[in-house]
């Protein structure tokens, strides 16, 4: 285990790692992988991509920070955007997250998280109804509005996933103000939990302590939960919280949990807070980096990777060009891929292949060994 660090600086000036996180754009020549694994380029030519999600028919819906949702269909980037929203792609603002409804095959619902510019600048969740590769007539509905943002353009979060309970989970950054993460009076620095129509479940952990939209709070004490993932079968939730100057965290999702930001960074013994299950430091080594920007469990319907990869958690760092795999049983992380630069999202398709998204391309990793 890494050394305990139970306190941290509260100032962000000069030490915010994520300034420019979503400005980075690199075309990777291809990752270096273990024996038996192969990689192929699915699509390129994307513009500042930030997140992706799979529909049941195998299409990939992906976000561009500038406000376009694009579709990759049968390995080809559809020429026209599925939808385009007005947003403010400054710093870490813009179109940041996307999720496909569990019953997409019957309702066609796609959800996005983005920075809206009217009537004031704030983050918003909008639900769209797909008709083929296009937006259905009258198919857009704004379902949830978050708090107004300050002039700070960083720490917006953006993770968006449906949980095994059918609820929509949302990762929200603290807008570069650590104090936001420790209060129940706003939604910043939190994990939120919503019904699929944007209403708030009455069994949320702080429902009786809060009012209005703050009843959506499911967990607090986070800095910038850019991505998170649920494990198929167990429902286990891992939250990737981007750190400041010392640690990157993987936190175990738990209703009502407080992860300690800005009072702690990395592991802590403070009984008020949930300590991360895994952390890594900042640097340029094969096991350090600058920002955890993607994570996914390997539990597909059809397993293609060797048995030792099943039930493991793949996670990526934006700056170091690696993808590693974490074993929740042994609490150990091991190398998997290097040379995968500017990764912002990871997904596992039902067919068992691992996909990673960079700022301008989608890559697929397969296993061709015995």
- Burial classification of residue 25, based on how many CB atoms lie within 10 Å of its CB (0-12 exposed, 13-18 middle, 19 or more buried): middle
Q: Once rounded to an integer, what is the mean pLDDT over residues 51-78?
A: 97
Q: Please list the residues that pair with 99 across neighbouring strands.
A: 111
What is the CATH number that goes with domain 21-367? Answer: 2.120.10.30
**pLDDT value of position 15:** 32
Using 50, 70 and 90 to split pLDDT, how confident is the model at 357? Answer: very high
Radius of gyration of the chain (CA): 19
pLDDT given at position 10: 32
CA angle in degrees (0–180, nearest 5) for 260-266-328 = 105
pLDDT-above-90 percentage for the chain: 91
Percent of the chain with pLDDT over 70: 92
CA gap 227, 24 in Å, rounded: 17
Is residue 273 within 8 A of residue 249, CB to CB? The reply is no
Length of the chain: 370
Mean per-residue pLDDT, 112-138: 97
Note the pTM of the prediction, 2 decimals. 0.93
Cα 189 to the center of its chain, rounded Å: 14
pLDDT of residue 131: 97
The confidence score (pLDDT) of residue 21 equals 45
Q: What is the pLDDT of residues 245-286, one digit of tens each?
A: 899 999 999 999 999 999 999 999 999 999 999 999 999 999
Torsion angles phi and psi, residue 366, rounded to 5: -125, 170
Indicate whether 237 pLDDT > 90.
Answer: yes
Q: Enter the tokens of residue 237.
A: 């939730």
Alpha-carbon span 143 to 75, nearest angstrom = 31
pLDDT computed for residue 23 by the predictor: 45
d(CA 236, CA 250): 12
What's the confidence (pLDDT) of residue 14?
29
Both tokens assigned to 298: 């390997």
**pLDDT tens sequence across 148-170:** 999 999 999 999 999 999 999 99
pLDDT at 81 over 90: yes
Q: Does the pLDDT value for residue 317 go beyond 70?
A: yes
pLDDT at 5: 32
> For the chain, which residues make up each domain, given as ranges?
21-367
Q: Which residue bears the tokens 């929203």?
A: 85
Q: How far is CA 266 from CA 245, 247, 275, in A?
A: 11, 5, 7
If one counts every other C-beta atom within 10 angstroms of the C-beta of residue 23, the result is: 13
More confident residue, 164 or 370: 164
Q: Quick check: 77 pLDDT over 70? A: yes
Residue 29's pLDDT band, with cuts at 50, 70 and 90, is: low
- pLDDT score of 370: 75
Q: How confident is the prediction for the chain on average, in pLDDT?
A: 92
Element spanning 108, H or E: none
Q: Do residues 365 and 38 touch, judged by C-beta distance below 8 A?
A: yes
Neighbours of 72 (CB within 10 A): 20
Q: Where are the alpha helices (DSSP H) in the chain?
A: 104-107
Mean of pLDDT values over 130-155: 97
Pick the closest to residue 292 from 256, 244, 363 (CA basis): 244
């Amino acid at each position: 285990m890494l050394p305990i660090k139970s306190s941290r600086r509260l100032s962000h000036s000069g030490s915010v790692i994520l300034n420019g996180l979503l400005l980075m754009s690199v075309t990777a020549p291809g990752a270096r992988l273990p024996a038996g694994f192969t990689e192929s380029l699915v699509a390129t030519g994307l513009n500042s991509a930030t997140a992706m999600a799979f529909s049941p028919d195998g299409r990939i819906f992906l976000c561009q920070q500038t406000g376009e949702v694009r579709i990759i269909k049968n390995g080809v980037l559809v020429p026209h955007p599925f939808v385009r929203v007005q947003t403010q792609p400054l710093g870490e603002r813009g179109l940041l997250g996307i999720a496909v409804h569990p019953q997409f095959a019957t309702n066609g619902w796609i959800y996005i998280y983005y920075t809206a510019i009217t009537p004031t600048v704030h983050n918003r969740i909008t639900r769209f109804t797909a008709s083929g590769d296009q937006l259905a007539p009258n198919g857009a509905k704004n379902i949830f509005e978050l708090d107004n943002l300050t002039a700070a353009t960083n720490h917006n979060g953006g993770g968006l996933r449906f949980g095994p309970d059918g609820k929509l989970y949302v990762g929200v950054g603290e807008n570069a103000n650590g104090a936001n993460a420790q209060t129940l009076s706003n939604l910043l620095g939190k994990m939120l939990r919503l019904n699929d129509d944007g209403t708030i479940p009455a069994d949320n952990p702080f429902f009786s302590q809060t009012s209005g939209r703050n009843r959506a709070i499911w967990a607090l004490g986070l800095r910038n939960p850019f991505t998170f993932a649920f494990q198929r079968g167990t429902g286990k939730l891992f939250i990737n919280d981007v750190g400041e100057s010392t640690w990157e965290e993987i936190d175990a999702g738990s209703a009502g949990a407080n992860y300690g930001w800005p009072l702690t960074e990395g592991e802590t013994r403070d009984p008020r807070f949930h300590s991360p299950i895994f952390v890594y430091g900042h640097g340029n080594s094969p096991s350090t980096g600058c920002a955890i920007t993607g994570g996914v469990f390997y539990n597909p319907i059809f397993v293609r990777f060797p048995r030792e990869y099943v039930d493991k958690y793949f996670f990526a760092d934006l700056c170091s060009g690696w993808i590693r795999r974490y074993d929740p049983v042994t609490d150990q992380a091991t190398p998997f891929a290097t040379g995968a630069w500017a990764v912002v999202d990871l997904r596992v398709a039902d067919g068992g292949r691992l996909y990673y998204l960079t700022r301008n391309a989608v890559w697929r990793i397969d296993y061709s060994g015995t």
